[in-house]
Amino acid sequence: MDELSADTGKNTVRNENITANPLGRVVNLSHSSTSIEGLPNDFVAGSPLPNSLLGGKDDLSLEGRKELKRLTGARPVPFLSTLAVTWLSIVATMAVAAWMDAIWFYLFAIIFIGTRQNILGLLIHEQTHYLCSSHPWADAVTNLFAGWPIIVVSVENYAKVHLAHHSFYFTEKDPDFIRKKGKDWTFPMKPHSLFLLFLKDLMGGTFFHLISSKKIERQNQIRRPQVLPGWLKLFYYASIIALSVWFGIWKLLLLLWVLPLLLVLPVIVRFSAICEHKYDVLSGKIEESTATIILNKWERALLPRLNFNYHIYHHYFPGISFCNLQKVHALFEKEG
């Protein structure tokens, strides 16, 4: 496991007694003894996470704040290049799978494409914060090439939920906090219970629940204009179905697009959510409920998450693109 190296100081990432935990791979444990899972022996459900940072977002130096300003704002080139590379990898994987026609490669392709569908979801999240562009065209492009392909998500609908999560963080008005209450989101959790949850996801038991839970009380909605007409979405799906039948690839799409969407993506979404926050901390501060996770190169390659492992910085600075979150982390280390 990689460890954070930083000098002492109020702004830096903690580097004292760092160990692993089920919700994130790097935290500081202030207790004198830890359990076998890497959490304090007295750590119970409802306890806040040990802070991964020694200081807050307001503790940076003047030069540090200037650097943050330089890192802030839309980054259309990284966004669009990530979108393009993701689709190239999906199409290439489907083509190779059809050419090889081997069970083992179909299984690989289902998992691989599921990870790329997750990237599309993360790009929807990026544009929710206008991090491709604040121009309406960016919402349209994101819907056409990221939201609509994963069937049930659009920038404007996701914005209602996600921006409310930022605005009403870990309160009764936070839809993300509300829908992740209960034993399924309470940690520490026994390994067999967690295994059964992932198995349920893998069997397709949570996809439609995941989608329906994205709804939000109307009074809490943050409105986002719809830039594409509703009829276009129906035409979009009808065209894909018609073309896939015409070219004889509808079975391939069911196997390598719909199946990953139903079975693989929910597993990744749950795993990602567990890694981002500890959800049983009512009115928890960002530092108490958000993990900082340091990944090895092979881990980043296995499950690309667009630097979501630096999730605390996203909540501190939601106007900073995914491509700069690692630079923010380096800045906090330097400020030590």
Q: Could you report the per-residue pLDDT of 133-149, keeping only the tens digit for each?
A: 999 999 999 999 999 99
279 lies in some domain: no
Are 49 and 106 found together in one domain? no
Both 211 and 324 in one domain: the answer is: no
Three-state DSSP class for 203?
coil
Asked if the structure places residue 278 within a domain, the reply is no
Same domain, 149 and 202: yes
Q: Are residues 208 and 80 in the same domain?
A: yes
Residues 168 and 211 reside in one and the same domain: yes
Residues 138 and 194 in one domain: yes
Query: Is 16 inside a domain boundary?
Result: yes
Which of 273, 295, 317 is the last residue before a domain boundary?
Answer: 273
**Residue 228 and residue 150 share a domain:** yes
Contact partners, residue 55, CB within 8 Å, separation at least 6? 9, 10, 11, 12, 332, 335
Characterise 18 by phi-psi region: left (phi > 0), alpha (psi -120 to 50), beta (else): beta
Angle of CA points 192, 121, 325, to nearest 5°: 90
230 and 143 fall within a common domain:
yes
What's the pLDDT score for residue 30?
31
Regions of the chain short of the pLDDT cut 50 = 1-39, 219
The pLDDT of residue 40: 52
**Secondary structure element (H or E) that encloses residue 24, with its range:** strand 24-28
- Choosing from 227, 252, 273, the residue where a domain stops is 273
Query: Is the same domain home to 230 and 174?
Result: yes
Q: Which residues contact 162 (CB under 8 A, 6 or more apart)?
A: 125, 128, 176
Q: What is the pLDDT of residues 61-79, one digit of tens each?
A: 899 899 999 999 999 999 9
Q: What is the pLDDT of residue 13?
A: 43
Q: Is residue 162 domain-resident?
A: yes
Domain range for residue 234? Answer: 73-273
Q: Which pLDDT belongs to residue 173? A: 87
Number of domains composing the chain: 2
d(Cα 184, Cα 300) in Å, to the nearest integer? Answer: 26
Q: Are residues 171 and 198 in the same domain?
A: yes
- Whether 233 and 308 map to the same domain: the answer is no
For residues 112 and 317, give the distance between their C-alpha atoms in angstroms, rounded to a whole number: 30
pLDDT computed for residue 278 by the predictor: 87
Question: 54 with 97, same domain?
Answer: no
- Residue-wise pLDDT tens digits, 6-53: 333 334 344 333 333 333 333 333 333 334 344 455 555 656 666 666
pLDDT at 206: 77
